[in-house]
Structure 1
């Protein structure tokens, strides 16, 4: 059974300040939806039905977004704004549940994931970072492919993307024993390192914020000591996991935008804006005019 996904949303969003001073970075908009809604829609399209938000004080806007808003819905209904009413009421599809747990201290991604242990229990689960937006021709296609690989072979999955060698020091990097991993395919992970020096990186395959993990990871996180940045790193627990269970790197096919920084957020708005029926023509015309 694979139905639960952990989404850590407790970060301060310092890379997009001052926009995130009073608004959670996950609520910043990409076209007409906050980033977190795009990520939840990806999870739902891949078959997940229990969304576990690891949050903190000051982030209630995220929970409110996925709750009903009676007054707004009643007013839209009264005015006959059917399309807008539908877009508001269907933010969370039937059969999908959002649960919130607190991360009282900022102790890293590994600690954030561990905070959800009481909800995931003894079930395998997914982890999705909320500021990494993946654009596929079919919603959730890469995440769904990882789910299918997990179900077929039983191995945990990490989504990766090939990045330029000069950028490897920005990411967690996986070692697949030198194997070439084509987009849409996978390879066994033999090691990984968090933000290696360029000349020490085992590959250029960067972890991009999507995981399917065995329940055993929670036990490993409990025993993981603070590492890089004096934080409990998920990567450190996964290094221990591969000593006892298989883990695969899945190379994504879609386009990824890091909406946790200003450039990535702008890029996502342009890319998705050019696909949205309400904005595509006007945005394309604007961009064409700017190029001339």
Structure 2
């Protein structure tokens, strides 16, 4: 069983400037809840028991949010508003934090969790991608069968493939692929229409692979480069994630998810 997960949340959120100068993108509100709460609840629903959230010095709002507010809770009780206590309840999961001191890429953020994961397999959930559906549970189901690395996939229109890592592999069965390569942001001749999205499941071998990855031209350690290294000796599968995926770094997706949640709320 997969019991541990890492949520890298230390990025600058440059796609959403200027608001991210002051508010972390992970705290963007959707139906009165920050977007990162949807990711945490996805992990809880999948059976994850321990979370490591990678933050930076400007992301203290995330740490504060997943903590008790004693003053607020006391006020609600004294004001006979105890019915609102459920709204400020902390998710039933053990959360740890560590800082990424420098913006050195997603691969660097993940490898900061080396001591946290130890010898255990673990999930990685990127908070930019919100999934209405099973999400990471899809990958856990594949891992329980294969005991191998599993990468979340989604089908993408041809003209948008240049914005993603695109997989090359062999179809095992409906929605499941045996991966042989990932092409990062192909300008042309993409090997498939299946793009990598922000859900991963790794064995601890990914940490050793990331330690051997050289920084790219921008000085960042890329997670994709670590995945390619583990592909050289280990099986790596790709699974099309069921459900609907929203990229909150995209203004259109962010608004679309808010509308969907709003409509669902009004129907219930």
Q: TM-score, normalised by structure 2?
A: 0.95
Which residue of structure 2 lines up, in the alignment, with residue 285 of structure 1? none
Aligned equivalents of 1:246, 1:83: Cα separation in 2 = 50
Please tell me whether residue 253 in structure 1 is matched to residue 242 in structure 2.
yes
Deviation string for 1:26-76 (max 9, x for gaps)? 001111110110100001101111110111101111011000011111112
Instruction: Determine if contact 1:227/1:236 at 8 Å carries over to the other structure.
Output: no
Distance 1:26 1:132 in 2: 10
Q: Cα deviations across residues 254-276 of structure 1 (Å, max 9, x unaligned)?
A: 11110123222111111111112
What's the secondary structure of 1:232's corresponding residue? coil
* Per-residue deviation, residues 128-168 of structure 1 (Å, max 9, x unmatched): 001110012xxxx2321211210122121111001011111
Return 5+ residue gaps in structure 1 as ranges.
282-292
Length-normalised TM-score, structure 1: 0.87
> Which runs of 5 or more residues in structure 2 are unaligned?
none
| Counterpart mapping for 1:37-186 below 5 A | 37-89=37-89, 91-93=90-92, 96-136=93-133, 141-177=134-170, 179=171, 182=174, 185-186=175-176
Aligned length: 268
Q: Aligned partners of 1:168 and 1:20: how far apart in 2?
A: 26
The correspondence of residues 221-232 of structure 1 with structure 2, limited to 5 A, is 221-227=210-216, 229-232=218-221
Structure with the higher fraction of residues in strand conformation: 2
Q: What is the CA–CA distance in structure 2 between the aligned matches of 1:106 and 1:186, rounded to whole Å? A: 33
Within 2, Cα distance between the matches of 1:228 and 1:173? 20
- Separation in 2 of the partners of 1:155 and 1:220? 15
**Contact 2:138-2:241 at 8 Å conserved across structures:** no
Residue 23 of structure 1 aligns with which residue?
23
Question: Which stretch of the first structure deviates more once superposed, 64-73 or 262-271?
Answer: 262-271
Q: Following the alignment from structure 1 to structure 2, what is the Cα–Cα distance between the partners of residues 14 and 235?
A: 20
